[in-house]
């Protein structure tokens, strides 16, 4: 498998482990010092893989999520680094029936180490978000 395919597989594993709530698997897609920036979409900056996975558990454990990443633009910047941009569509449904459909992009940096390619940083930007209460469906 070439490096670009390995990065595509890494991001696919990110989406799958997020949606299946496989938090141990999710932890394995990040460098220990990953930086996750969601400020452009109304969130915060979280530094550290363990901290980010703990945040996801607390925030999404009871939420049904469906994440789709499309049209990756991956550029190898050195033998051990790469960047990527992914178009995103995500759906979140809370236990009370509230639903969010989001559209945007992930802007990422990848690093290859002994364990293969990992996400070193990720920034989530949103182009549009639809929120619907249960009575609006």
Q: What is the pLDDT of residues 88-132, one digit of tens each?
A: 999 999 999 999 999 999 999 999 999 999 999 999 999 999 999
Average pLDDT rounded to a whole number, residues 76-85: 98
pLDDT above 80: residue 11: yes
Domain boundaries, the chain: 3-136
Q: Can you tell me the distance from the alpha carbon of 58 to that of 137, in angstroms, rounded to the nearest whole number? A: 27
Using one digit for the tens of pLDDT, what is the confidence trace for 14-65?
999 999 999 999 999 999 999 999 999 889 999 999 999 999 999 999 999 9
pLDDT of residue 137: 57
Examine the pLDDT at 6 and tell me if it is beyond 90: yes
Q: Is the pTM higher than 0.85?
A: yes
CATH topology of domain 3-136: Nuclear Transport Factor 2; Chain: A, (3.10.450)
Residue 134 has pLDDT above 80, yes or no: yes
> Does residue 89 contact residue 101 with C-beta atoms inside 8 Å?
yes
Which residues neighbour 43 within 8 Å (Cβ) at sequence distance 6 or greater?
Answer: 124
């Amino acid at each position: 498998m070439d490096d670009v395919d390995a990065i595509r597989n890494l991001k696919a594993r990110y989406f799958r482990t997020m949606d299946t709530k496989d938090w141990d698997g999710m932890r394995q897609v990040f460098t220990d010092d990953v930086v996750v920036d969601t400020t452009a979409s109304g969130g915060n900056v979280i530094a550290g893989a363990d901290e980010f996975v703990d945040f996801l558990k607390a925030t999404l454990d009871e939420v049904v999520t469906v994440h789709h990443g499309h049209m990756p633009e991956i550029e190898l910047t050195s033998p051990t680094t790469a960047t990527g941009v992914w178009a995103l569509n995500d759906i979140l449904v809370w236990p009370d029936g509230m639903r969010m459909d989001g559209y945007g992009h992930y802007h990422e940096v990848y690093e290859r180490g002994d364990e293969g390619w990992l996400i070193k940083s990720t920034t989530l930007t949103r182009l549009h978000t639809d929120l619907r209460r249960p009575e609006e469906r």
